[in-house]
Structure 1
């Protein structure tokens, strides 16, 4: 389809208003032009189509059969445009936004920081949506998401925020100070991970740390990282977790990172539905996430 396939928009607007109001004068008043201008637009439309769309008499204006067909199409088309504009204005003016992220990210990282979001965006009504799968983003429904992966992500505007890293963590009560201590403690495994690849598990960590003789097939097993981290906090063993998700537990001293050896992970991204990325509140949120995720970690007491 090209521009020449559609009659001029001004002519269609003049036609739709004239047909709806049955009057050149009333249509002119609605569109803030003169009746002569309306008449000219109708003639231009009829010349373009090669058919008469209106029957004119000194007292009346009525639709021809072809004009009735065109009127029904313009009513439908302009109506859909009006509804779309109304929805876009509603979304643009709305103070409510919904952010989707994994349960672990929301629980361990974002929820403890909600007060700071309220401070910088006091009028924002932020809704949180927990999902372990990628959800489709659409303005007015799920507006934004924290996505984890290498990217790019189709159908969204995504900005890299932070490269994730993984490392063994444990309760300070275990008093682990040396690589040799790994052989005497319980290893905690997360069996439900699907990312990043290669998986940040014990065989990979032992290989990169150049430590041998560790039986990485035994230990406590959990289906998600939240349970593994809670087990580590409880002193039940050593777990390999995301240092982003463990930030607060490490800062408070609930967990310690006994070894410097880390494993590379994927990237946290801020994603939003197409067309809303320039909203001031979304730009503010995006920058806040970027800054907060890159704050240097604090060591516990």
Structure 2
């Protein structure tokens, strides 16, 4: 049984052929002719001492030995590619790729990132607005900002700030609806982005938290939180604003939260990166900056009575 590894080029040819089940398509992927790829695989088979493919009339299929070899070869090349990419990043402190949800990127990141750029002109920031599950290796991502219930043992994870939701509106609209009871007559906007949260943090839950049984009907719904905020800023109505989406507008007085009651879902925004990478200068600088930016508006939260959503009754007693 051979113990010495065969040439890497031959293993690469086998990996491509095993994935495509076609020598022609594999040859195109690795940049050689089909004849050259066939020769590399034949060399590999001679090294192993048994065939890896059955050559059929118009196709190929793996032998038992090929089926055993294929998963390990594929994983080996994935690991090699990841290690090569990570090694290249070690000395690269000039580029930082950050992923966050589209609404968070638009509403929180975009208005602030110039402050980071001004403090760190040597770092080139790249944003990837996405909610897809983060794969740092596959997507070449350095940092992810994600809304999660708790830490992930597989990554370095730092809580940034817990979310809360509270009714927000233009100051002049607050004069029209001075009490929670009067809010039942207001044009309410619905942000559906937190629909996945359990217990719910929707309008019905907020009204129950202040002792009112009211479920808005005929309200306007938005799938993106930033769109709901844009509509609120345009005077279209009152939205149950998420902290991350409205904190800047509340801090600057463009929106107000007149009732002082907020609900807190069981989630935190977290700063996430692969373990060990948190000490990279660019990542550490970005983490420290984002924490300092959050602290600038912390006084807004101090003006609210924040009720965990778990403490909101599911139903109010009948009167």
TM range (shorter): 0.5 to 0.7
**Alpha-carbon offset, residue 159 of structure 1:** 1.0
- Using structure 1 for the length normalisation, give the TM-score: 0.67
Contact in 2 for aligned 1:91/1:140 (Cα 8 Å): no
Partner of 1:229: 229
- Unmatched 5+ stretches in structure 2: 4-46, 48-76, 301-319
**Alpha-carbon offset, residue 186 of structure 1:** 0.9
Q: Does 1:256 align with 2:223?
A: no
Partner of 1:203: 204
Partner of 1:275: 276
Secondary structure of 1:203's aligned partner: helix
**Alpha-carbon offset, residue 296 of structure 1:** 3.3
**Alpha-carbon offset, residue 242 of structure 1:** 0.9
**Alpha-carbon offset, residue 193 of structure 1:** 3.0
Q: Deviations over 1:11-49 (max 9, x none)?
A: xxxxxxxxxxxxxxxxxxxxxxxxxxxxxxxxxxxxxxx
Q: Deviations over 1:93-117 (max 9, x none)?
A: 1121210001111111111111111
Say if 1:215 and 1:159 are closer, same or farther in 2 by CA, change over 3 A.
closer
Matching of residues 103-114 of structure 1 within 5 Å = 103-114=102-113
Secondary structure of 2:163's aligned partner: strand
Secondary structure of 1:262's aligned partner: strand
Partner Cα distance (1:288, 1:139) in 2: 26
Number of residue equivalences? 227
Say if 1:291 and 1:139 are closer, same or farther in 2 by CA, change over 3 A.
farther
Partner of 1:93: 91
- Using structure 2 for the length normalisation, give the TM-score: 0.63
Matching of residues 34-183 of structure 1 within 5 Å = 87-94=85-92, 95-138=94-137, 141-153=140-152, 155-174=154-173, 175=175, 176-183=177-184
Contact in 1 for aligned 2:229/2:245 (Cα 8 Å): no
Look at both structures and tell me which one has the larger radius of gyration over its CA atoms: 1
- Unmatched 5+ stretches in structure 1: 1-5, 7-68, 70-79
Matching of residues 21-32 of structure 1 within 5 Å = none
Partner of 1:15: none
Secondary structure of 1:184's aligned partner: coil
Partner of 1:29: none
Partner of 1:292: 293
**Alpha-carbon offset, residue 126 of structure 1:** 1.1
Partner Cα distance (2:138, 2:279) in 1: 13
Say if 1:254 and 1:296 are closer, same or farther in 2 by CA, change over 3 A.
closer
Partner Cα distance (1:179, 1:227) in 2: 24
Partner Cα distance (1:181, 1:85) in 2: 60
**Alpha-carbon offset, residue 173 of structure 1:** 2.3
Contact in 1 for aligned 2:158/2:270 (Cα 8 Å): yes
Contact in 2 for aligned 1:102/1:132 (Cα 8 Å): yes
Say if 1:271 and 1:85 are closer, same or farther in 2 by CA, change over 3 A.
closer
Partner Cα distance (2:188, 2:254) in 1: 18
Secondary structure of 1:246's aligned partner: helix
Partner Cα distance (2:138, 2:223) in 1: 33
Partner Cα distance (1:202, 1:128) in 2: 32
**Alpha-carbon offset, residue 177 of structure 1:** 2.0
**Alpha-carbon offset, residue 154 of structure 1:** 5.6
Q: Deviations over 1:174-224 (max 9, x none)?
A: 123222220221111123434432222111000111123x34233222222
Partner Cα distance (2:139, 2:237) in 1: 44
Contact in 1 for aligned 2:96/2:282 (Cα 8 Å): no
